[in-house]
């Protein structure tokens, strides 16, 4: 039969073991589900397809193989549509590599990123090849993507300018509406004061007549 002292020792040992286990779970680095979930949005972003402009170019080239200018216009549109995907891969590459190195990223998620990276690299090489085929000797393999970026930046600037103009117009409309409302309020206040003055004058006149009687 266990003595009271032995029972206490067993209980203390058990509690100590539980505390040590809990401390180990807190202190030891883990690949928790919470971490993976926080990365899910990022990783899902690499599960994408190439833009529809890719097929539009291939179809246009097939239908108009001799119209080099038309084909090049379609190719340029394709390059412009590729830019957002290229930027995404480039901007998040170092972060993905760091997460993988620290063993935070799941293999499946990293594979998704690598497949997207390979797909974009193949797309870049194909566009450069097509550019040289359509305009040989003009340096377009090296120029087409920088030109596409410049075009996108110009479009973005135009959109921002249009948004600023719309915001300014809205602000002016609000200011005009406010000025109109204030003018109406002032006119109403003046009308009320005028009515009050008329009432006061009438009362004064009636009071004078009563006194005369």
The model's pLDDT over 131-168, given as tens digits with 9 standing for 90+, comes to 999 999 999 999 999 999 999 999 988 988 999 988 98
177 SS3 class: helix
Query: Are 128 and 144 in contact, with CB atoms under 8 Å apart?
Result: yes
Spatial distance between the Cα atoms of 74 and 61, rounded to a whole number of angstroms: 8
Which portions of the chain are predicted below pLDDT 70?
1-47, 104-105, 107-109, 213
Distance CA 42, CA 26 (A): 26
23: in domain: no
| Distance between CA atoms of residues 184 and 190, nearest Å | 10
Q: Which of 108, 119, 58 is nearest to 85 (CA)?
A: 119
Nearest CA among 113, 120, 141, 147 for reference residue 129 = 141
Classify residue 151 as exposed, middle or buried by CB count within 10 Å of its CB (0-12, 13-18, 19+): middle
Classify residue 92: in a domain, yes or no. yes
Number of domains into which the chain is organized: 1
From 76, 90, 58, 72, select the one nearest 152 (Cα to Cα): 76
In a domain, 10, yes or no: no
**Separation CA 100–CA 94 (nearest Å):** 10
> What was the pLDDT predicted at 210?
76
- Whether 79 is covered by a domain: the verdict is yes
In a domain, 207, yes or no: no
Q: Is residue 77, in this structure, part of any structural domain at all?
A: yes
Please answer whether residues 145 and 79 qualify as being in contact, where contact means their C-beta atoms are separated by less than 8 angstroms: yes
**Which residues are CB-contacts of 140 (< 8 A; sequence separation ≥ 6)?**
131, 132, 134
Domain contains 48? yes
Give the domain range for residue 85.
32-166
Asked, for residue 212, whether it belongs to a domain, the answer is: no
């Amino acid at each position: 039969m266990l003595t009271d002292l032995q029972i206490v020792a067993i209980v203390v040992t058990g509690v100590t073991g539980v505390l040590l286990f809990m401390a180990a779970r807190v202190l030891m680095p883990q690949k928790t589900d919470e971490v993976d979930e926080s990365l899910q949005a990022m990783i899902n972003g690499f599960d994408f397809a190439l833009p529809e402009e890719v097929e539009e170019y291939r179809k246009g080239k097939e239908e108009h193989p001799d119209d080099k200018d038309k084909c090049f216009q379609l190719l340029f549109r394709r390059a412009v549509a590729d830019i957002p995907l290229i930027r995404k891969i480039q901007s998040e590459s170092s972060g993905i590599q760091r997460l993988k190195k620290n063993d935070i990223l799941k293999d499946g998620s990293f594979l998704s990123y690598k497949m997207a990276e390979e797909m974009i690299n193949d797309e870049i090489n194909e566009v450069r090849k097509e550019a040289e085929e359509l305009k040989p000797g003009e340096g377009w393999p090296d120029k087409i993507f920088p030109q596409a970026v410049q075009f996108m930046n110009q479009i973005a600037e135009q959109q921002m300018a249009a948004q600023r103009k719309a915001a300014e117009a809205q602000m002016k409309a609000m200011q005009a509406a406010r000025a109109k409302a204030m003018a109406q309020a002032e006119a109403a206040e003046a009308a009320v004061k005028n009515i009050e003055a008329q009432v006061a004058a009438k009362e004064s006149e009636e009071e004078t007549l009563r006194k005369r009687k």
